[in-house]
Each structure stands twice: as C-alpha cells, then as structure tokens.
Amino acid sequence: MTLNSRFYRLTEWHRRIDDALRRENRRRGADPFRLLRLKTAKLAIRKRLASLSRRPALAL
C-alpha cells in the first residue's frame, strides 16, 4: 500500500467518524459511550495522519 492510498484511506475514515459524531450528537438520547469510542477513534486516526505527514518523502 502506497503512502498516498494509506493517507486517503485514513482521511476517509476520519470523515466518516466525523459524520457519525455529528449524527450521534443530533440524536435525542445520544449514547455517551458511543461518543467516547468515536472520539477516541478519531484521535487515533488523526495521530496516524500526523505521523504519515511528518515522514520525509522519498525522492524519485
């Protein structure tokens, strides 16, 4: 898997989790444990994206 495809896949997951967080917050009886799991997953993906962006690019 190339760096670009991994970065794209992680940004897609981040967007989907963000959408799920918005939907859960709009619900009347929002589940606090689901919100916590979503926020934790979003933070983990954000850390992975940050580590990928700090890697030096390979010169071709």
Establish if 45 belongs to a structural domain: no
**Whole-angstrom Cα distance, residue 35 to residue 50?**
22
Establish if 21 belongs to a structural domain: yes
**Whole-angstrom Cα distance, residue 60 to residue 58?**
6
Question: So what's the pLDDT on residue 1?
Answer: 66
Establish if 2 belongs to a structural domain: yes
Establish if 23 belongs to a structural domain: yes
Question: Residue 12's domain spans which residues?
Answer: 1-28
Establish if 17 belongs to a structural domain: yes
Residues 6+ apart with CB under 8 A from 18: 42
- Overall number of domains in the chain: 1
Q: pLDDT digit of tens for each residue in the chain (60 aa)?
A: 677 889 999 999 999 999 999 999 999 888 999 999 999 999 999 999 999 888 766 644
Establish if 49 belongs to a structural domain: no
Question: So what's the pLDDT on residue 3?
Answer: 75
Question: So what's the pLDDT on residue 12?
Answer: 97
Question: So what's the pLDDT on residue 55?
Answer: 73
